[in-house]
Structure 1
Amino acid sequence: MGPRQPRPHRGRTDRQQRRTVLIVTNGRQTEKMYLDHIKQQVIRRDVSVKTQFINGDPLTLIKELKRPRADLSAYREVWIVVDQDGQDCSKFLRDCRSLSTRTRKVHGVISVPCFEVWLNAHYGPVRNYQNQADAQYHYRELTGLSARQEKLVPRDFPWAEAQAAAQRCFLPSDGLPGLDTQPSRSATTMPHLLHSLRLVDLKN
């Protein structure tokens, strides 16, 4: 009889095996409401998702996440969800890359001109919005929300349309923007985040 083979090591904890994901946004209401719902959809035992709101512009978010108290070492992936809102976000994307390490990837998710582009895509193809107000007006048209309610996600929001939204959250002539890029026109890179969480498929 040959030597006994060592048994597979079973000492790894669930935390070590689990893919830990932090999603940060500066959207106090709309984005946070949407992302909290998405977190509840991730029911895989090997993925743990936390959402966090930080007040301020995109560069302020980077500054806060660089502070020791942020302790990003606990996460394998960090996704920072912001609006373009007429600003050049190239420095923001560079700073996201600077936060990445060998064991942690930090991604910037940008919606042009704002997060409503992604929400609108759940209802149908997005338009070539001229500015944030234009996209928000279309959101109110689609949802029936009043101007006072436009920061809310309605109760009958079509959550099940996320896969379709991933195919219509950009202008057909442009295609889906790449990961960690700033779209040139009405579009969002949100599908890459949901793809990472295995909530949408980008292969088609």
Structure 2
Amino acid sequence: MGGRTEKTYLGKLKGRVPRDANLSIMVICQEGKEPETILRNLVRGETDLRAYDETWIVVDHDGADRRDFLARCGKVSKDSGSRVVGVVSVPCFEVWLNAHYEQVQNYRDQKDAQRHYERLTGLSGRSAKDLPGDFPFDRAVEAETRCTLRGTSVPGANARGPCPSTTMPHLLRSLGPLRAR
């Protein structure tokens, strides 16, 4: 997982997971590393995957073909006995953030999605990679239905969807905020 926005969101999300969920959650930021490198380091034993029921790697599409990375996550899951899931947001994580506010738009690229986020939040400049203090975490259920274009559904776990889309709802279901769905 890379950028500041993702780290902030996941850190705050961690604090919102119900205590009775009986989960131990660790957020590790690997800014600047390619998803394949992060996964390779996990497999090589820098982290004992068997110590965790699930490992989620949250990344942006960044114009790269992430299908091999996602397929490898599935293979590592099968080989290790621990669920490893790649979450890809196309074109970027702001797709998921924007969906908390309103239906995502047909973004041309990452900058387009980020401009939409700035317009929705009123943030700009350096603060544009932050979450506003009143970020609507409680709208995750609505975000699940708005994180793809109308008429398309959320891609499956370890799958890459069209632009725009994200597989973040799978992570939220696993953590609890969308579990009842």
The alignment's TM-score, normalised by the length of structure 2, stands at: 0.92
Residue from 117, 124, 127 that aligns with 2:102: 124
Structure 2: how far apart are the matches of 1:202 and 1:82? 25
SS of match in other structure, 2:135: coil
Does the alignment pair 1:197 with 2:172? no
Number of aligned residues: 178
Q: 1:201 to 1:171 in 2, by over 3 A?
A: farther
Shift of 1:180: 1.3
Structure with higher RCO (Cα < 8 A, 6+ apart): 2
Distance 1:166 1:48, change over 3 A: same
Structure 2 partner of 1:184 = 162
Tell me which protein shows more helix as a share of its residues.
2
Gaps of 5+ in 1: 1-24
TM-score (normalizing by structure 1): 0.82
CA contact (8 A) 1:62 1:96 kept: yes
Counterpart among 130, 135, 142 of residue 164 in structure 1:
142
Aligned to 2:10, which of 35, 38, 59?
Answer: 35
Give 1:67 deviation, angstroms. 2.7
Q: Decide which moves more: 188-197 or 67-76.
A: 67-76
Q: Which residue of 1 aligns with 2:22?
A: 46
Q: 2:50, 2:20 → 1: CA distance?
A: 21
Write the deviation string for residues 73-108 of structure 1: whole angstroms up to 9, x where unpaired: 210101110001111101101221222146311011
Q: How does 1:20-31 map to 2 (within 5 A)?
A: 25-27=1-3, 29-31=4-6
> Displacement of 1:65 after TM fit?
1.6
Conserved 8 A contact 2:49-2:80: no
Q: Which moved more, 1:52-61 or 1:30-39?
A: 52-61
> Secondary structure of the equivalent of 2:86?
strand
Deviations 1:170-195 (A, max 9, x none): 10121221121101220100001101
Cα deviation digits, residues 45-82 of structure 1 (max 9, x gap): 52221111113121121122223222222101011100
Spell out, residue by residue over 1:107-130, the C-alpha distance to the aligned partner (whole angstroms, 9 max, x if none): 110100000000000100000111
| Runs of 4+ with >6 A deviation | none
SS state of the match for residue 167, structure 1? helix
Aligned counterparts of 2:42 and 2:125: Cα–Cα separation in 1: 33
Instruction: Give a deviation string over 1:1-45, Cα, whole Å, max 9, x none.
Output: xxxxxxxxxxxxxxxxxxxxxxxx122x11011001111112225
Q: Who wins on radius of gyration, i.e. which is larger?
A: 1
Cα distance between partner residues in 2 of 1:135 and 1:35: 19
More strand by share: 1
